[in-house]
Amino acid sequence: MFAKYGIFFYIYEMNIVDVSTDELIPIEILPVEKTDYKFISKNRYFFNWKEEQNQEVLKLIIKGKNDILGLISYEDIPEEWRFHIRLLTVSKENKGANRKYSKIAGNLIVYLAKLAIRKYGIMGCVSLRPKTQIAQHYIKNYKMKITGMTLSLEVPEILDLINQYENE
Partner 1 sequence: MNKKSEEYIDFGVDSRYSTIEEKTSDAVILMQARLERMKNLPKEQIIRTKLIQLKLEMDEFLKQGTLGLSHKFSDFLGKYIDILYTKHAYFSKDLNITPVFLSQIINGHRLASEEFLLKLTVHSEKTFETVCFFNKNTWFQIFYQEKINQLIFRQDEWRSEIEKQVKFSELV
Q: Are 104 and 70 in contact (CB under 8 A)?
A: yes
Binding of partner 1 at residue 31 (CB under 8 A)? no
Please choose, out of 18-26, 29-37, 56-64, 146-154, the segment that lies near partner 1 by the rule CB under 8 A: 146-154
Residue of 90, 110, 112, 161 interacting with partner 1 (CB under 8 A): 90
Q: Which of 43, 40, 70 minimizes the C-alpha distance to 52?
A: 40
Binding of partner 1 by 43 (CB under 8 A): no
Residue 66 and residue 63: Cα distance in Å, rounded? 8
Residues 20 and 18: their CA atoms lie apart, in Å, by 6
Question: Minimum CB separation from partner 1 for residue 62, in Å?
Answer: 18
* Window of 14-22, 31-39, 56-64, 157-165 that interacts with partner 1 by CB under 8 A: 157-165
Q: What is the CA radius of gyration of the chain?
A: 16
Distance CA 75, CA 126 (A): 10
CA 16, CA 137: separation in Å to the nearest integer? 19
Check residue 77 for interaction with partner 1 (CB under 8 A). yes
Site residues (vs partner 1, CB under 8 A)? 2, 5, 8-12, 46-47, 77, 80, 82, 84-90, 92, 95-96, 99, 105, 114, 117-118, 121-125, 127-134, 136-138, 145, 147-150, 152, 154-156, 159, 162-163, 166-167
